[in-house]
Amino acid sequence: MPALSFCHCCVPLLYIGCDQPWFLLSEDVVDIRFDHLAEDEIEGPHDPFLSYPLFQKESTSLAMATTGVHHFQLTHSVSSIRPSTRTKLRPNSVRCCTTTGTTEAQNVTVKNGNDSLEICRVLNGMWQTSGGWGRIDRNDAVEAMLRYADAGLSTFDMADHYGPAEDLYGIFINRVRRERPPELLEKVRGLTKWVPPPVKMTSGYVRENIDLSRRRMDVASLDMLQFHWWDYSNSGYLDALKHLTDLKGEGKIKTVALTNFDTERLQIILENDIPVVSNQVQHSIVDMRPQQKMAELCQLTGVKLITYGTVMGGLLSEKFLDTNLSIPFAGPPLNTPSLQKYKRMVDAWGGWSLFQSLLQTLKRVSLKHGVSIPTVAVRYILDQPGVAGSMIGVRLGLAEHIKDSNAIFSLSLDEEDMSSIQEVSRKGKDLLRVIGDCGDEYRRA
């Protein structure tokens, strides 16, 4: 059985290692509705998120926890990009920028030409609603979303396949409309993603999928649509993005963005005059890849980064300080998909011993400022060039970190703090060499 690759924003979709790669799309995961669920409870499959093909030894067995699976065979006969249609990039030729208002530390406006969107710099990530993090009660989840919004953490990030995430947002936004003042409604943002299978990207197909997200989220216009593409040998991503830009012109989308695109493809997209405001990528003190090739292009064009994996599923926390995971049952269990995923990133970077050195450094900095380790970890990434915002996953109705998240805005790391963190971060392997550019871990065997 070939290895299975996972994207933080994706259910298990892509087999890597076959002579003919196959994509798997679970209808049950992508198109879940509350009327499919019993007793207002949501419990997804507890996938162990078994593999990163770059890190994992050859696998001989694999359990799939999805049902109703459809197969799409990948084809490679795709028309090439016409150089004549591409615009040569020059400094500031892409009018995309980030500006801040009076609440500079908390909010940021990402702007490209006439398109702009103000978001909170700490985003609430809703991957955790897709299953594997515990049972979620619908009403409790919506109440938790209201508490986050009331506390100023009013930007929510989701995807078409994050289980019922878009449906939860639809219920939540209607509660805000009915029960909160207009001032809060104006601040709430819902960012979603579209992760299509590798089929022909026709205008009708793109429109149908965007309309589905609009219905689920109960909004006339999506605040931001972040687009993901599996295979770059298929240039259909350019067709999809052009259709998304057309839908933006119709008012169905406010801003078009990317997720997990590498530097080369981001440049191609911009040279094809497709206005994107941001690229959502994995970025943490362990994974500093975006500050290499991607950051250079971002500085040239003004495209901003929204980061995920910034607290590594909770690994960058006091809970894992002074633990030894090499001894069975000696440390905290890696009992969520995100913990298992980012533990593999630690292994690729330098191993658990070096990671403990990083946690000890972060603990010293956190004690100095009277905050938690995750607060320091997020602040460090927010202070990196090109970063507009960072994601923190929310286990709605199960656990909350509102206080720690809000502490990020008032935290200011000094030169000594930044240098000490940078020193231990650089002791690890260069993940750009080990893995490749942003998003390559989801595409390479």
pTM greater than the 0.85 cutoff: no
Q: What is the pLDDT of residue 361?
A: 99
User: Number of C-alpha atoms within 13 angstroms, CB side, residue 187?
Assistant: 20
Residue 24 has what pLDDT?
30
Beta strands 122-125; 387-393: pairing state: parallel
- Cα 57 to chain centroid, rounded: 26
Neighbours of 143 (CB within 10 A): 14
pLDDT digits (tens, 9 = 90+) for 67-115: 222 322 323 333 333 444 566 666 544 444 444 443 457 999 988 888 9
Q: Cα 277 vs. chain centroid, distance in angstroms?
A: 15
User: 247-283 pLDDT, tens per residue?
Assistant: 999 999 999 999 999 999 999 999 999 999 999 999 9
Percent of the chain's residues with pLDDT above 90: 65
Can you give the pLDDT at residue 310?
Answer: 98
Residues 6+ apart with CB under 8 A from 338: 8, 127, 128, 133, 309, 312, 313, 314, 393
Return the biggest CA–CA distance within the chain.
60
pLDDT in tens, 64-80: 233 222 322 323 333 33
Taking alpha carbons only, the member of 160, 152, 150, 138 closest to residue 217 is 160
Structure-token match 């980064």, residue found: 305
- Rounded Cα distance between 187 and 154, Å, is 6
pLDDT in the model for residue 194 = 96
Contact 228, 194 (CB under 8 A): yes
- Ranges of the chain with pLDDT below 70: 1-104, 444-445
Calpha distance 237→216 (Å, rounded): 24
- For residue 117, the model assigns a pLDDT of 96
CA nearest 376: which of 391, 361, 388? Answer: 361
Q: Which CATH class is domain 3-442?
A: alpha beta
